[in-house]
Amino acid sequence: SYGPELPVTSPLALGPVVSPPHTVEGFVKEFLHELNYGQGVALSRSSVNDQYLASARAVRSYLMAQWLETQRRQRETQAKSVAYLSAEYLLGRQFDNALLATGLTDTVEKGLAACGIDIDVVRAQEIEPGLGNGGLGRLAACFVDSLASMNVSAIGYGIRYEFGIFRQTFVDGRQVEQPDTWLDLGSPWEVAHPENSVQVGFGGRTETYTDDDGVERTRWIPDSNVKGIPHNYLVPGYQNGRVNTLRLWSAVATQSFDLAIFNSGDYTAAVRAQTFAENISKVLYPEDSTPQGRELRLQQQYFFVACSISDFLNYVLPADFDITKLPERIIFQLNDTHPVIAIPELMRVLVDDRGMAWDEAWAITQQCFAYTCHTLLPEALEVWPTELLGKLLPRHLEIIYRINDEFLAEVRKTFPGDELKARNMSIIAEYPERSVRMAYLATVAGAKVNGVAELHSQLLRDKVLPDFSAMWPEKFTNVTNGVTPRRFIKLANPLLSTLITDTIGVGWLNDLERLRELEPYAEDPEFRASFREVKAANKVRLRALLEQRDGLVLPEDAMLDVMVKRLHEYKRQLLKVLHIVALYDLVVSGQAKIEDITPRTFVFGAKAAPGYRMAKEIIHLINRVAETVNNDPRVDGRLAVAFPPNYNVTLAETLIPAADLSEQISLAGKEASGTGNMKFALNGALTIGTDDGANVEIRQLVGDDNFFLFGLSEPQVEELQAKGYRPSAFYESNESLRRAIDLIASGAFTGGDREAVGPIVGDLLYNDRFMVLADYQSYIEAQERVDERYADPDAWSRSAILNVARSGFFSSDRAMTDYMDRIWHVSPRR
Ligand code: CR6
């Protein structure tokens, strides 16, 4: 009962808030109520969107009842919670996930059918909230799913961007971005709470004063402020009754956004300034791993962490909470450096607002944060010029300086006489301009620092933060990423899920290591046949989707060779292109008979950051190669290339279960982890990949025989780099490579236009930072091994089944367990 929570005078206190009955009639009643009184439309006159919104809200009511109960219990127990701070959550569609979590799928399907509505039509109406760029944002979404499913008290904090990741279209093969207007038709999954808004300051100055006890203190006097409005998203656990909160902030102007303008009485200027405030949560920056140091981005970062800390301290914690006990009640996990400004913010709140002594506040702060690094690329490590930071957040800069001073004193004690060490480790960099190294700040303040795969964590210690790991070896740890099996197996691959349950029984979806029980069935011809039927059916489903979505017609009965991920040079989509071009060349030059080529359909999905020139050139090249290959009668449809635009979570859910081959071909030492690689393995695709990121662990688990390894290892990359890498040497000495590059350079794919491919060819031959040419031969040989295995359907299915059976480790539930044990020291509720 929720009655006792309300004042006794409230009429609602008389009866409990109850979930609508979990029956077809119960749902229909709720649905029609939402349709009639929420949407204000009769069933007979309702649009698909009305029906979608009403059914989503009806389903939400079921979740809401559980959410209220989860909240009540948390208030009662005051259990230690995890606050996940992330600038991105790439949630994907919510409807099916909510149905799965509540166990309402059949009920709702029947209820809608009773109203003459096809649930698939309703499903298709949902626009996914694309509030993230790629892996990092999707990881955050998997983590909140797992926390709820494992019954952990947790809250996710982030930004409710009005425009999420752009919608990608192709015009003449080139990427053109459209705004992602995901909120246009209404967003049924969120509940706004303007009454719990938080005010956040910007700019201005600091001053010192003496308080009533005669203590010298500092206060920040901002010159503008913004209001953050929380929007709650419900994060249901998988059929366990828990519903956690994801709280996303949107920015609106306060009545007096710019205090100076407002006070000067310039009304129109003040109103104009409002737009400025509202810009803060307007748009997600579309850079994946290569952030641009823009002022608005720093405003976004500070905005959401300041709102979140205030929310936690003032609304989530009870009013009489003893703030010195904060570490017993919360751990803030920093998802990359984007939320790291939360560290000086908590210090400011404790010291300036709550009057705590610096040392005590610092001791608390150090226990309340932990930092996850998600990259190895130096250009991805965020730094903020002190000039910009000091202008926007003057008090925070002072706090950072003091943290740094005390830290450097400790460095000098640890490494006496080593001034170079102090300079290298300083949170403040002096060159090329004075700036704050956010990863260093996070490492100094955080209780723990983790990488996202074994290899990545090792390189983080050895290459990115070596001095820090020498100083504090115990601070560093690894948690290999994971993905949620609810979305990426059960929802995405219902046929495989049924086959698994029919074979090993229920219970594996929240105990994914149980997939091991499938191992013996790899030897069972009947099981292999069923497994192949599932794959074949998933390909049929994909073909239908791509035809309807993009007008793409895929050949039947070909190996489906898939590379989907953000477009980045280090991920080496170009290596894949060279492979395709080399095969094409074999056929058109008559070196191979088309019948001797394994029929393959290559599928790409990739968005490029809008300002990333080379990435956009590569997209153009892929589209041109696709056009040429697909229309050349000589290849007879045996080779085909498909590049559906706007790859997103929704498309991934159909694409991944259909794939035979998963392309994970980054240069060793560059991909921190990868998470797509895990989703493919769990859905029975074999990986062709380098020894990079989580590929290393996938290969160790599934076995060398069931993974196609190629390419330089990370130490070999270093070695080649050190002795001087000359890509043209590889070009000159490898005929197949030379022919492929020459074919591209000749304009064969660009209607004779050589200039269109000039930048790519030039870069490959004379720069090739990511050693595409060095790994070419090894890649081609690995692809030949792929063909050989594929020619033997039983051998292939055996390997594919073993991939599924041995990938249970990559559940995000396991990742959460590792975070709980190694970093958070919290445990699931019983
Ligand atoms: N781009 C890594 O590059 C990793 C995810 C999640 C990335 C990728 O290898 O799997 O994070 N890094 O840990 C960043 O976003 C900085 C990514 O998604």
Helix, strand and coil in the chain, % to nearest 5: 55, 15, 30
Checking DSSP bridges between strand 174-178 and strand 167-171, what pairing results, if any? antiparallel
Task: Provide residues with CB under 6 Å of ligand 1.
Answer: 134-136, 139, 288-289, 336, 374-375, 380, 452, 481, 671-675, 693
Q: Which of 488, 497, 495 is nearest to 518 (CA)?
A: 497
**Is residue 293 pLDDT above 80, yes or no?**
no
Angle of helix 772-790 relative to helix 793-805, nearest 10 degrees, comes to: 110
> Which of 131, 376, 483, 673 maximizes ligand 1 atoms within 8 Å of its Cβ, making it the mutation to test the pocket?
673
DSSP 8-state assignment for residue 830: -
ipTM value: 0.98
Checking DSSP bridges between strand 686-689 and strand 707-709, what pairing results, if any? parallel
Q: How far is the CA of 374 from the centre of ligand 1 (A)?
A: 5
The three-class DSSP label of residue 486 is: helix
pLDDT in tens, 471-507: 999 999 999 999 999 999 999 999 999 999 999 999 9
CA–CA dist 567, 574 (Å, integer): 10
Question: Which distant-in-sequence residues (6+ apart) come within 8 Å of 383 by Cβ?
Answer: 293, 429, 435, 436, 437, 438
**Is residue 256 pLDDT above 80, yes or no?**
no
Q: Which of 441, 442, 449, 404 is nearest to 423 (CA)?
A: 404
Residue 725, pLDDT score: 98
Q: How far is the CA of 133 from the centre of ligand 1 (A)?
A: 10
Token pair listed for 250: 């949107």
Residue 557, pLDDT score: 92
Residue 262, pLDDT score: 64
Residue 5, pLDDT score: 43
User: Which alpha helices (H) appear in 552-612, and where do they start and end?
Assistant: 573-588
> Which of 372, 374, 478 maximizes ligand 1 atoms within 8 Å of its Cβ, making it the mutation to test the pocket?
374
Burial of 73 (0-12, 13-18, 19+ CB in 10 A): middle
| Mean pLDDT for the stretch of residues 99-127 | 98
pLDDT in tens, 726-760: 999 999 999 999 999 999 999 999 999 999 999 99
Please identify, by atom number, the ligand 1 atom nearest to the C-alpha of residue 380: 16
- Residue reference for tokens 């009662």: 76
| Mean pLDDT for the stretch of residues 590-601 | 96
Which residues is 210 bridged to in the sheet? Answer: 216
Checking DSSP bridges between strand 216-221 and strand 205-210, what pairing results, if any? antiparallel
The three-class DSSP label of residue 363 is: helix
Burial of 4 (0-12, 13-18, 19+ CB in 10 A): exposed
**Is residue 140 pLDDT above 60, yes or no?**
yes
Q: How far is the CA of 391 from the centre of ligand 1 (A)?
A: 30
The three-class DSSP label of residue 386 is: helix
Residue 616, pLDDT score: 98
Angle of helix 772-790 relative to helix 758-766, nearest 10 degrees, comes to: 100
CA distances 430 to 105, 387, 525, 614, 694, Å, are 58, 12, 65, 30, 35
pLDDT in tens, 431-485: 999 999 999 999 999 999 999 999 999 999 999 999 999 999 999 999 999 999 9
Residue 181, φ and ψ in degrees, nearest 5: -95, 55
Please check whether residue 680 is in contact with residue 656, taking contact to mean a CB–CB distance below 8 angstroms. yes
Residue 354, φ and ψ in degrees, nearest 5: -105, 0
pLDDT in tens, 19-38: 899 999 999 999 999 999 99
Please check whether residue 65 is in contact with residue 19, taking contact to mean a CB–CB distance below 8 angstroms. yes
Which residues is 89 bridged to in the sheet? Answer: 131
**Can you list the positions of beta strands (E) in 462-528?**
476-478
Q: How far is the CA of 376 from the centre of ligand 1 (A)?
A: 9
| Mean pLDDT for the stretch of residues 243-248 | 98
Please check whether residue 278 is in contact with residue 252, taking contact to mean a CB–CB distance below 8 angstroms. yes
pLDDT in tens, 508-517: 999 999 999 9
Q: What is the mean pLDDT of the chain?
A: 96
- pLDDT band for position 259 (50/70/90)? low
CA–CA dist 442, 410 (Å, integer): 16
**When comparing pLDDT for 3 and 682, which is higher?**
682
Please check whether residue 117 is in contact with residue 160, taking contact to mean a CB–CB distance below 8 angstroms. no
- pLDDT band for position 17 (50/70/90)? low
User: Which alpha helices (H) appear in 312-418, and where do they start and end?
Assistant: 326-329, 342-348, 358-368, 386-392, 394-414
Residue ranges covered by each domain of the chain? 15-77+94-127, 82-89+131-377+437-480, 486-810
Q: How far is the CA of 322 from the centre of ligand 1 (A)?
A: 37
pLDDT in tens, 74-93: 999 999 999 999 999 999 99
- pLDDT band for position 1 (50/70/90)? very low
> Which of 143, 333, 375 maximizes ligand 1 atoms within 8 Å of its Cβ, making it the mutation to test the pocket?
375
Q: Which of 545, 723, 751, 752 is nearest to 651 (CA)?
A: 545
- pLDDT band for position 830 (50/70/90)? confident
Which residues is 604 bridged to in the sheet? Answer: 563
| Mean pLDDT for the stretch of residues 687-716 | 99
The three-class DSSP label of residue 188 is: coil
User: Which alpha helices (H) appear in 385-493, and where do they start and end?
Assistant: 386-392, 394-414, 419-425, 438-445, 454-459, 466-471, 485
CATH for 82-89+131-377+437-480? 3.40.50.2000
> Which of 289, 456, 568 maximizes ligand 1 atoms within 8 Å of its Cβ, making it the mutation to test the pocket?
289
The protein residue whose alpha carbon is closest to atom 10 in ligand 1 is: 674
Residue 258, pLDDT score: 65
**Is residue 300 pLDDT above 80, yes or no?**
yes
**H-run or E-run covering 372:** strand 369-372
Q: How far is the CA of 828 from the centre of ligand 1 (A)?
A: 27
Q: How far is the CA of 563 from the centre of ligand 1 (A)?
A: 16
CA–CA dist 710, 579 (Å, integer): 14
Catalytic residues: 374, 565-566, 571, 675, 679
The protein residue whose alpha carbon is closest to atom 6 in ligand 1 is: 136
Q: How far is the CA of 372 from the centre of ligand 1 (A)?
A: 11
Question: The domain 486-810 belongs to what CATH superfamily?
Answer: Glycogen Phosphorylase B; (3.40.50.2000)
Q: How far is the CA of 517 from the centre of ligand 1 (A)?
A: 31
Residue 656, pLDDT score: 99
pLDDT in tens, 353-363: 999 999 999 99
pLDDT in tens, 770-796: 999 999 999 999 999 999 999 999 999
DSSP 8-state assignment for residue 637: T
421-460 burial, b for 16+ CB within 10 Å, e for fewer?
bbeebbbbbeeeeebbbbbbbbbbbbbbbbbbbbbbbbbb
Q: How far is the CA of 136 from the centre of ligand 1 (A)?
A: 5
Q: How far is the CA of 674 from the centre of ligand 1 (A)?
A: 6
**Can you list the positions of beta strands (E) in 453-518?**
476-478
Token pair listed for 549: 């979505």
Please identify, by atom number, the ligand 1 atom nearest to the C-alpha of residue 134: 18
Checking DSSP bridges between strand 476-478 and strand 216-221, what pairing results, if any? unpaired
Q: What is the pTM of this model?
A: 0.97
Q: Which of 38, 252, 285, 276 is nearest to 164 (CA)?
A: 285
The protein residue whose alpha carbon is closest to atom 12 in ligand 1 is: 374
Checking DSSP bridges between strand 216-221 and strand 639-642, what pairing results, if any? unpaired
Q: How far is the CA of 131 from the centre of ligand 1 (A)?
A: 15
- Residue reference for tokens 């209780």: 447
